[in-house]
Structure 1
């Protein structure tokens, strides 16, 4: 695993059972993010932690959640952490450049935010958002980038309207596919979505009482980890690709993947475990 520079406002908690918990840790501010796109900012650290978990063979599932009452309240608009758009800021992933005005703003939003969000959706391993409270702005976007979302009666999604922005950072893309056009537009016009409605719309996979939320997420992770990791990883890629593909293309993907999986170590171990009536020990190969 790559060497991580840990920060106190984002926790990296790896358990022996294969679950990695990445937790926003500013409960006094509903876990609002620190910084913008710089290397030590919350968004960059989420991407760094995600990549580290993806590279760690002992990690099987990654759970993103918040400490306290909130999931992540997005940018700290009441504090000084977000800052203003400075024309010569050198954001993560950019070479030094000279720009000003609107061009600098575009660079910040693409290179600083949207590009970093892709670190979540590009992770091979299953990602679960345990949306334990308010998910606002790019806090909501990060939850939508995850593969699965569990919430409770305390879950609330809040869009960007209150700070004069549109749904961005992949949020508009995923929300439309999860909820459908009409519901996505309704949310984009109103800016608020409670937990029960989010579950009804398909934005949340499941809603459970808040005092049972962590137990339910742990049970979900256990069910995921009983399956061959290689199958899980390839399933994820094929299904995500199928969202923007045709039946023909998806069939080609699956017909190419199936023979590879059939001869993998994980497949052989799965068949042996069934024959011998024991728990499998998968290697992810």
Structure 2
């Protein structure tokens, strides 16, 4: 909202709502909520908190106060936006801990608020990363859609819905975030391999999953999936270790995000990349509108989006979307060998390189040169640099430890 714009009074009401929730102020909540208030908590919330809650009292007893019983948590809004349908969208995070386990909770949320004619809130729809709530309450459960392992410094994130060609449903979106968090928290990880079991890396969104939803709430459903999905990619983008993706079969829709997440991409012969969004009448996710123009150029990206034009393996190589085409039966082994090679490299330097390359898109040359000057001192102070200098003087190949 620009400084000249008239402040939206609904934002003030929403801010008072979060203040009342933080203070546990029932009286204030009763003033803010309309008599016909209906709340919709995210399906899959623990402790039976998900679903519809009719009336302010039901919302308080079955969701808000139940959260307070089991968590020390605050809803921290960071963005308020008025939507075209008149609702107010609030973006933020739930931050705190589970009371019983002490596990940290950091779950993104989107709240969609409807207002009555008198200015009070008549409906609230909650979209949140429900897996994070369960993990804080009970610890992380077994993964159902991703095979995850760490060996020899390589963290492998392998999409594992082969019967659905690794189509992305709510569980896969949430587990992408969960695995990204595990990788970020594991100091033994020195590189990441992303791959997929079955005939394709991923064909994008699971249409069958969308068909099971209420047609009037499809937008909310897709948005609720996109929140953890994008948060996972944001974490992957900020890792201090390199990422390799092995692409094969069809790579489509938001599933292209697993390609964009990588520093190096190997593709099996015959792999096809397609945005697919125009064919479904949606605008897209997975970070493609940011990554694709930077990787292959604005005109080619526009064609890929607006005309749904597939990108062949040879085009992907020529245009810079991938690094190498390999025989299909060699893809996984070649990709793992590359990830292992990187895992045995100078990890601190790799992490700094990733950040410098990422920030170069927004820095001018003077800023980038200054940042390179600053951080090369840090990497030159590493044990790996000292070992490499000694190895060079002794005319042997250095052995990096990542320290």
TM surpasses 0.5: yes
Q: CA deviation at 1:142?
A: 2.6
Residue-by-residue CA offset, 1:136-165 (whole Å, 9 max, x unaligned)? 111112321222221022312221222211
Q: CA deviation at 1:131?
A: 0.7
Change (3 A) 1:72 1:209: same
**Partners of 1:145 and 1:174 within 8 A in 2:** no
Q: What is the rounded CA distance, in whole Å, between the counterparts of 1:84 and 1:268 in structure 2?
A: 60
- Greater relative contact order structure (CA < 8 Å, 6+ sep): 1
Match of 1:139 in 2: 255
Change (3 A) 1:181 1:61: same
Structure number having the greater strand percentage: 2
Match of 1:284 in 2: 402
Q: CA deviation at 1:211?
A: 1.6
Q: What is the rounded CA distance, in whole Å, between the counterparts of 1:50 and 1:57 in structure 2?
A: 13
Range with greater deviation from structure 2 (41-50 or 178-187): 41-50
Residue 356 (structure 2) pairs with residue 220 (structure 1): no
Residue-by-residue CA offset, 1:108-153 (whole Å, 9 max, x unaligned)? 3763443343122122211111112211111112321222221022
Q: CA deviation at 1:185?
A: 1.0
3-state SS of paired residue (2:201):
strand
Larger Cα-atom Rg: 2
Q: 2:284 aligns with which of 167, 170, 176?
A: 167
Q: CA deviation at 1:263?
A: 1.7
5+ unaligned residues in a row in structure 1: which ranges?
36-40, 88-100
Q: What is the rounded CA distance, in whole Å, between the counterparts of 1:82 and 1:6 in structure 2?
A: 24
CA RMSD across the alignment: 2.6
Change (3 A) 1:216 1:18: same
Match of 1:93 in 2: none
Q: 2:201 aligns with which of 50, 54, 71?
A: 71
Aligned length: 264
TM-score for the superposition, normalised by structure 1: 0.82
Q: CA deviation at 1:4?
A: 4.3
5+ unaligned residues in a row in structure 2: which ranges?
1-134
Q: CA deviation at 1:281?
A: 4.5
Range with greater deviation from structure 2 (67-76 or 273-282): 273-282
Match of 1:20 in 2: 155
Match of 1:11 in 2: 147
Q: 2:301 aligns with which of 184, 194, 197?
A: 184
Match of 2:116 in 1: none
Q: 2:183 aligns with which of 53, 61, 76?
A: 53
Match of 1:91 in 2: none
Range with greater deviation from structure 2 (159-168 or 268-277): 268-277
TM-score for the superposition, normalised by structure 2: 0.60
